[in-house]
Structures are given as structure tokens and as C-alpha cells.
Amino acid sequence: MRIRRALLFMPGDDRRKIEKGAGLGADSIIMDLEDGVALTNKAAARQSILTALHEVNFGRSERLVRLNPAASELEADDLHITLPGRPDGYVLPKVEAAWQVQEVSARIEDAEREHGWPAGAIRLLALIETAKGVVNIREISESDHRLDALIFGAEDLAGDIGATRTPEGREVFYARSAVVIHAKAHGLQAIDTVHIGLNDLDGLAAQTREALHMGYTGKLAIHPRQVEIIHQIFTPSPEETQQAMRLIRAHEEHQAAGSGAFELDGRMVDMPLVRAAETVLARARAAGLDV
């Protein structure tokens, strides 16, 4: 699965931002058709995305399109018009049931067959951002072979359940945990919600670190200045990588000598810590570091 640390949103009808976003080196670019685009501009945004998919050089960034929700009467045209541009995947908002993922997947399958594209190459990422989405997260996680990631959406969820957003985020913590647990139970990536404070870079860093510590693998971004901070936090530092390699080496030596648990730098090391070190190395490798 490809690495997705920062996923940068921009309105699909804003060619300038698409071009700007394409040049930033973000792991993923999400051209939006949903809430970032006014109802009167949906048709123009579909065309703008299709043209950008054909014309803009996105470098190594993944090219994603966010559709409108299932049963909005917009999503069929969203798909139909953008699919010929062959994006790398689609982000589905407000997913509440397995069929919503499966229906999009089936339409993509038709397009893949029609164009002779490799089957299953276009991927799906599902936003969990409503009460029903949280309640049905298990069936959503198991819904389709194209599904790569669950994305947590705190702002929409708060609106849906009548919660008030606070800096601590306790009002959405259950859902934020549920998303990462279910993602990991099903071998999916877990991507954290947007930080809407555009100028609050310390707050962004703190929220991103918290997500990392919870097991999240990436985070949504809405402004270019957020991308580098998110990339950096989801990339292990050289010190972390060194320490992880040291721990794994020590573990192998102790295993060979017949002991399961041992002491390193005043801490007990056994399998959970070894697995944590392996996770650090996997993150480093995914980020393209040579470990």
C-alpha cells in the first residue's frame, strides 16, 4: 500500500490551488467535489478536475478525488465525469454502510474493464464522520477489496451528534479511537481529521503527534503550510530509527541466547516493544528511508 502521511485538500473548481498543491510533494492530493465546492459549481468542478488530471503534473503525489455522498444525486455524475481522467483513487464522504463503498467500487470496475486498465488499481478511502458511520464502522471496514483507508472526520461528526468542538477533543475521542482500532483490525490505513486552525501550527503539530501516538498513519491537510509538518511527524527521526534497530538487534541476541525478556537502558523489553520498534522501521521504510 502506498504511503499517505499528508493528504492535502483543495476545492476541485480551483485550478490555481490544484496546480499549487501538485507541486508541494504531498503524499496525496484530494481534489474536492463535496463541501469545498458550492452547489452551483459542482459541474464546473468536475470538468476542472478532469482537465487537471489530464494536464497537471502531480509528480509523485497520489491523485485523489472526493465525491459527494451516496444518494446525494451528485455522486454518479462526479464519478462518471472524472473517471476518464484515471485518478489514483476516490475519497468517499459520510460513509454509513458497506453498500455505499461497494456501489462506487462496482462502477469503477466497469470503467477499468471498459478502458482496459488494471483491475482494482483505483483505490478507495472512506470518511467516517457521522454517528451512523461510527456505528457501522465494522461493516464499512470489511466492505470492499479497493478500500485502503478509513479517514476520521471530526468536524462533521460533531455537527451530526450535536457536540461542541473543544481543544481537547474529548467529545470525539471515542470515534477517533474507533476509527484507528477498526482500521488496524482490517489491515487498513487510519487517517486523522483536519486541523482547521490554519495559522495554529503548534496546535497542528500537537494534534498530529497525538494521532501518531494513537496509531494513525496520516492526516488530512487543508493548507500548504500544514503538509511539511505532517510529513515530518509521520516520518521517524534518525535517532528513533537507530534506537529501534538497536532494540531489535538486542532482542535477536537475547532470543539466540534463550531469553525472551531482557533489560535495555533501564526498561524491560519483550515482544510488545519489539513490535513497536518494527512499526518505527516500517514507517521509516514507507517514507523512503534506507533502513
Active site residues: 270
Looking at the chain, how many residues does it have? Answer: 291
Window of 16-24, 117-125, 130-138, 243-251 that interacts with ligand COA by CB under 6 A: 16-24
Binding partner of 10, given ligand COA, Mg ion, none, CB within 5-8 angstroms per partner class = ligand COA
Among the listed residues 9, 152, 216, 234, the single contact to ligand COA using CB under 6 A: 9
d(CA 283, CA 3): 9
Q: Which three cell numbers mark 128? A: 467516517
Which C-beta is closer to Mg ion: that of 69 or that of 236?
69
152 belongs to the binding site for ligand COA (CB under 6 A): no
Q: What are phi and psi of 90, to 5 degrees?
A: -125, 145
Binding partner of 94, given ligand COA, Mg ion, none, CB within 5-8 angstroms per partner class = none
CB 32 within 8 A of CB 222: no
Binding partner of 185, given Mg ion, ligand COA, none, CB within 5-8 angstroms per partner class = none
How near is the Cβ of 156 to ligand COA at its closest, in Å? 9
Angle at 7 between CA 33 and CA 161, to 5 degrees: 65
Segment 30 to 59, residues that bind Mg ion, using CB under 5 A: 35
How near is the Cβ of 17 to ligand COA at its closest, in Å? 4
8 belongs to the binding site for ligand COA (CB under 6 A): yes
32 belongs to the binding site for ligand COA (CB under 6 A): yes
Q: How many residues bind Mg ion (CB under 5 A)?
A: 2
How near is the Cβ of 152 to Mg ion at its closest, in Å? 11
Q: What are phi and psi of 131, to 5 degrees?
A: -60, -45
Window of 13-21, 71-79, 151-159, 167-175 that interacts with Mg ion by CB under 5 A: 151-159
- List, in sequence order, the alpha helices (H) in the chain: 15-22, 42-55, 75-82, 98-115, 131-135, 137-141, 154-161, 173-185, 201-214, 224-233, 238-256, 271-286
Which C-beta is closer to Mg ion: that of 17 or that of 251?
17
For residue 73, the 8-state DSSP code is S
Which helix (H) or strand (E) segment holds residue 149: the answer is: strand 147-152
Break the chain down into helix, strand, coil percent, rounded to 5. 50, 15, 35
From 135, 125, 213, 127, select the one nearest 174 (Cα to Cα): 135
Q: Which three cell numbers mark 19? A: 496546480
How near is the Cβ of 11 to Mg ion at its closest, in Å? 13
Among the listed residues 88, 156, 171, 210, the single contact to Mg ion using CB under 5 A: 156
Pairing of strands 267-269, 262-264: antiparallel
234 belongs to the binding site for ligand COA (CB under 6 A): no
11 belongs to the binding site for ligand COA (CB under 6 A): yes
Which C-beta is closer to ligand COA: that of 15 or that of 86?
15
Contact residues toward Mg ion (CB under 5 A) are 35, 156
Contact residues toward ligand COA (CB under 6 A) are 8-11, 16-17, 20-21, 32, 35-36, 194, 198, 222-224
